[in-house]
Amino acid sequence: MIYVLAILLPPLGLLFNGQPFAALGNVVLLVVCGVLGLLFPGLWLVPSIHAAVSIYMTREDRRHRELVDAIERHGPPPDWRR
Segment 10-34 mean pLDDT: 95
12 Cβ contact list (under 8 Å, min separation 6): 5, 23
Query: Can you state the percent helix, strand and coil of the chain, rounding each to 5?
Result: 80, 0, 20
Residue-level pLDDT at 54? 96
Q: What is the dihedral of CA 40, 41, 47, 51, to 10 degrees?
A: -130
What's the pLDDT tens digit per position in 53-77? Answer: 999 999 999 999 999 999 999 988 8
Segment 7-17 mean pLDDT: 95
Q: Are 6 and 13 in contact (CB under 8 A)?
A: yes
Q: Are 55 and 14 in contact (CB under 8 A)?
A: yes
Enter the pTM of the model: 0.83
